[in-house]
Amino acid sequence: MKVACRFARFSVFALLVSLVVGCGGGGEFVAVSGSVTLDGNPLDLANVTFYSSETEDAFSGLTDAEGKYNLRAQPGDYKVAISKYEGEKQATEMSEDDEAENLMAEFEADIRDEEAQGKELIPERFSDMAVTELKFTVPSGGTQEANFMNLTSR
pLDDT above 70: residue 49: yes
pLDDT above 70: residue 96: no
Q: What is the distance, to the nearest Å, from the Cα of residue 83 to the centroid of all Cα atoms in its chain?
A: 7
- Rounded Cα gap, residues 27 and 5, in angstroms: 31
Residue 127 pLDDT level (bands cut at 50, 70, 90)? very high
- Check residue 75 and give its pLDDT: 97
H-helix or E-strand spanning residue 150: strand 148-151
| SS3 state at 35 | strand
The pTM of this model reads 0.68
- Rounded Cα gap, residues 70 and 66, in angstroms: 12
Domains of the chain: 2-151 (2.60.40.10)
The mean pLDDT of 68-74, rounded to a whole number, is 97
- Check residue 27 and give its pLDDT: 78
| SS3 state at 124 | helix
Closest by alpha carbon to 8, among 127, 154, 142, 137? 127
H runs (alpha helix) in 113-146: 124-127
